[in-house]
Chains A and B, each alone.
Chain A
């Protein structure tokens, strides 16, 4: 394929319209900066979500791309990390299917090297990002209350009241009280009341596809507002194939294509890649050039390295009482008590999510019951709704051998090498999972549960660490403002910039960092346009674009 046409030019090109890209589009456009967002997938209009929800209930993945082979990938390592059901293409990106859990990292999470002699410290502190957490919570509409005794200080209130604890949370609360474990509300980026022009949650139970728009996703919370400024355009079905650099090591243009595979080119002064931890790394690796033979912005050799997620298992047990599961699709209670453990040198942190939906569905009970006719319905009713479950998310240490690289033999829809994901977990993560499992078993045993069992090892849909931030260009890919060390007009935002990952879901931190980077970028951009540069050390605006 050859690039055939120069179709457009803009001030800032953002690749990816998900959590980070969508937020940056609005933050820049509202400041009058001209933005074009290239999104690989389509717009998934809210009007179609009812149909998506029905498909989801039938076990289909409605976010799956219709382009055969676009999501092709290969895996290696001791745990095969598959991307099916773990990402979504389209305006909104992974916020289309995320669970909505909106947790901040803890103060200690930013200082793993200083406090525990492990991994690296972040180049920013909790105190620096804290105001941006508040902004992200307001932008997404987070429902919560500050009842987590282990959380770090916050300067702003949650914008929405918390979702009340569920009926089954009541069981867990009693057991946790006996065991001295703090159980508290789980902050959710979904509307406990109507907020931001979106309706209150209506308990549809299919949060992977929210049919009402009550769950925050950037296709609803940010992109329309960005477009309404008149300064942002979103080009859908536009997959970035490679970035091209000029002689001064600046990105000059992005080459992209749609379903017709015809290459187009977009030029911009600044490029922001926000395509997720896998695709951002792959795009950089696909953009190798004589100046960057190992891949764009990869003089450190760290692009695609330290691929990190959150190992996860569910522990379930059967109780005598009815617990009425599957009435909402999200969890309302958690424990952050183990998110900052004292023995973090030895094992990872973990957090416990008390599930509102666990155990077999009527459609799973019936065909193995052996019953038929009137007895079948009675059997299903008797069996259903007596399982309690606790989900564990464990901290994973960054590991240089967990990587996103280019597949040697498999290509995608466009003929480019597919991503190859090498992933495994080590003793640190296994110790965290084992410690968490012991706590979960104690809680379930205190409830008198029988048949307590751990599910298979899984992993969260969090793809992190592949272009990590840091102060040292030899040990990181981007700086504290998420600008590539090697390429002055290139920003890499999203989960790939995480230095360490704690045990908490990353989306709120991704959002906070995106807002912070947008502020920095806007200030730099304006400064440059007005012929001045900011040099305030430590401020988000430090370091103008050269």
Chain B
């Protein structure tokens, strides 16, 4: 049956698999992450978004995003907790205590940097926790960071929606 569907309607099958097996946020209540959990998340995000240690300002963008999401949107507290717990477990120590190189190595080894998850991976019976982090937590952290002033800095903007500046700047190309 599945073979027939795959041959005749591959896109429909993909939608079916995605709907059934794609990791989803659960409906757990919002709340606050512990300091250690937040440190793990920031150390994780640093590798993803910049590939280097974040300065205090950049780290604050991650903290603000995570605090906001965990505190307001059901499911995110549990997602971040799952992420922090998994990373600490894989590191065998607080993930944030590892050097940048070791963090990168660990993340590449466990494919946390491959967040464009293939639909066929949803069907694998193992690595469900890692898959959830790759499919949900990684894009969320990247999105949150690049929606912050850090994202505008990446494209060379010092003023941007929400930060006022020189009115006439819009009339010419950026310096």
Q: Name A's B-contacting residues (CB within 8 A).
A: 53-54, 56-58, 164-167, 200-206, 211-212, 322, 324, 326-329, 332, 356, 361-368, 370, 372-377, 380-381, 384-385
Bound Cα distance from A384 to B155, whole angstroms = 7
Q: Which of B121-175 contact A (CB under 8 A)?
A: 139-140, 142-148, 151-152, 154-157, 159-174
A-B contact pairs, 6 of them (CB 8 A): A57-B162, A362-B152, A363-B147, A366-B151, A373-B50, A381-B154
Please state if B171 and A367 are interface contacts (CB–CB under 8 Å).
Answer: no
B10 an interface residue at 8 Å Cβ cutoff?
no
Bound Cα distance from A164 to B161, whole angstroms = 19
Please state if B166 and A374 are interface contacts (CB–CB under 8 Å).
Answer: no
B106 an interface residue at 8 Å Cβ cutoff?
no
Please state if A376 and B172 are interface contacts (CB–CB under 8 Å).
Answer: no
Please state if A380 and B146 are interface contacts (CB–CB under 8 Å).
Answer: yes
Please state if A362 and B155 are interface contacts (CB–CB under 8 Å).
Answer: yes
Bound Cα distance from A239 to B115, whole angstroms = 49
B52 an interface residue at 8 Å Cβ cutoff?
yes
B105 an interface residue at 8 Å Cβ cutoff?
no
Bound Cα distance from A323 to B112, whole angstroms = 34
Q: Which residues of B contact A332 (CB under 8 A)?
A: 170
Q: Which residues of A contact B167 (CB under 8 A)?
A: 200-203, 328
Tell which of B148, B162, B170 touches A167, judged by Cβ atoms closer than 8 Å. Answer: B170
Please state if A205 and B160 are interface contacts (CB–CB under 8 Å).
Answer: yes
Tell which of A165, A201, A211, A367 touches B142, judged by Cβ atoms closer than 8 Å. Answer: A367
Tell which of A326, A364, A368, A376 touches B160, judged by Cβ atoms closer than 8 Å. Answer: A326
Q: Which residues of B contact A202 (CB under 8 A)?
A: 164-165, 167
B47 an interface residue at 8 Å Cβ cutoff?
yes
Please state if A373 and B48 are interface contacts (CB–CB under 8 Å).
Answer: yes
Q: Which residues of A contact B169 (CB under 8 A)?
A: 203, 327
Tell me the minimal C-beta distance from A74 to chain B in angstroms.
26
Bound Cα distance from A166 to B168, whole angstroms = 9
Other CB < 8 Å A-B pairs besides A363-B146, A367-B139, A376-B50, 18 of them?
Answer: A58-B147, A204-B162, A205-B159, A206-B161, A326-B157, A326-B160, A326-B161, A327-B157, A327-B160, A365-B146, A367-B146, A368-B116, A372-B47, A374-B52, A375-B51, A377-B50, A380-B146, A380-B155
| Interface of chain A: mostly helix, strand, loop or mixed | loop
Tell which of A57, A205, A212, A374 touches B50, judged by Cβ atoms closer than 8 Å. Answer: A374
Q: Which residues of B contact A58 (CB under 8 A)?
A: 68, 147
Nearest-neighbor residue (CB-CB) of B64 within chain A = A58
Nearest-neighbor residue (CB-CB) of A164 within chain B = B171
B11 an interface residue at 8 Å Cβ cutoff?
no
Q: Which residues of A contact B164 (CB under 8 A)?
A: 202-205, 211-212
B60 an interface residue at 8 Å Cβ cutoff?
no
Bound Cα distance from A376 to B45, whole angstroms = 12
Bound Cα distance from A200 to B174, whole angstroms = 22
Tell me the minimal C-beta distance from A378 to chain B in angstroms.
9
Bound Cα distance from A379 to B2, whole angstroms = 38
Q: Which residues of B contact A375 (CB under 8 A)?
A: 51
Q: Which residues of A contact B99 (CB under 8 A)?
A: none
Q: Which residues of B contact A367 (CB under 8 A)?
A: 115, 139-140, 142-143, 146
The 8 A-B residue pairs with the shortest CB-CB distance, nearest first, are A373-B51, A363-B147, A362-B151, A205-B161, A366-B146, A202-B164, A327-B170, A57-B162
B42 an interface residue at 8 Å Cβ cutoff?
no
Bound Cα distance from A322 to B160, whole angstroms = 16
- In the complex with contacts A203-B166, A361-B151, A362-B151, A327-B159 CB distance below 8 A: yes
B97 an interface residue at 8 Å Cβ cutoff?
no
Nearest-neighbor residue (CB-CB) of B46 within chain A = A373
Nearest-neighbor residue (CB-CB) of A374 within chain B = B51
Q: Which residues of A contact B172 (CB under 8 A)?
A: 167
Bound Cα distance from A461 to B144, whole angstroms = 29
B113 an interface residue at 8 Å Cβ cutoff?
yes
Bound Cα distance from A326 to B159, whole angstroms = 9
Nearest-neighbor residue (CB-CB) of B140 within chain A = A367
Nearest-neighbor residue (CB-CB) of B161 within chain A = A205
Bound Cα distance from A200 to B115, whole angstroms = 45
Bound Cα distance from A390 to B139, whole angstroms = 30
Bound Cα distance from A419 to B48, whole angstroms = 47
Tell me the minimal C-beta distance from A182 to chain B in angstroms.
20
Nearest-neighbor residue (CB-CB) of A383 within chain B = B155
Tell me the minimal C-beta distance from B120 to chain A in angstroms.
17
Tell me the minimal C-beta distance from B158 to chain A in angstroms.
11
Tell me the minimal C-beta distance from A495 to chain B in angstroms.
28
Tell me the minimal C-beta distance from B82 to chain A in angstroms.
19
Bound Cα distance from A46 to B144, whole angstroms = 28
Please state if B116 and A370 are interface contacts (CB–CB under 8 Å).
Answer: yes
Please state if B151 and A380 are interface contacts (CB–CB under 8 Å).
Answer: yes
Q: Which residues of A contact B140 (CB under 8 A)?
A: 367
Please state if B173 and A57 are interface contacts (CB–CB under 8 Å).
Answer: no
Tell me the minimal C-beta distance from B13 to chain A in angstroms.
23
Tell me the minimal C-beta distance from A335 to chain B in angstroms.
19
Most buried by A among B154, B166, B172: B154
A-contact bits for B71-92, CB 8 A (1 contact / 0 none)? 0000000000000000000000
B49 an interface residue at 8 Å Cβ cutoff?
yes
Q: Which of B34-81 contact A (CB under 8 A)?
A: 47-52, 68
Bound Cα distance from A328 to B171, whole angstroms = 10
Please state if A381 and B155 are interface contacts (CB–CB under 8 Å).
Answer: yes
Q: Which residues of B contact A211 (CB under 8 A)?
A: 164
Nearest-neighbor residue (CB-CB) of B162 within chain A = A57
Q: Which residues of B contact A377 (CB under 8 A)?
A: 49-50, 154
Please state if A167 and B171 are interface contacts (CB–CB under 8 Å).
Answer: yes
Q: Which of B91-114 contact A (CB under 8 A)?
A: 104, 113
Tell which of A203, A212, A322, A372 touches B173, judged by Cβ atoms closer than 8 Å. Answer: A322
Bound Cα distance from A483 to B49, whole angstroms = 61
Tell me the minimal C-beta distance from A326 to chain B in angstroms.
6
Q: Which residues of A contact B155 (CB under 8 A)?
A: 362, 380-381, 384-385
Tell me the minimal C-beta distance from B136 to chain A in angstroms.
11
Nearest-neighbor residue (CB-CB) of A214 within chain B = B167
Please state if B146 and A166 are interface contacts (CB–CB under 8 Å).
Answer: no
Bound Cα distance from A54 to B142, whole angstroms = 19
Q: Which residues of B contact A364 (CB under 8 A)?
A: 143
Bound Cα distance from A377 to B52, whole angstroms = 12
Tell me the minimal C-beta distance from A237 to chain B in angstroms.
25
Q: Which residues of B contact A368 (CB under 8 A)?
A: 116, 139
Tell me the minimal C-beta distance from A363 to chain B in angstroms.
3
Q: Which residues of B contact A374 (CB under 8 A)?
A: 50-52
Bound Cα distance from A203 to B167, whole angstroms = 5
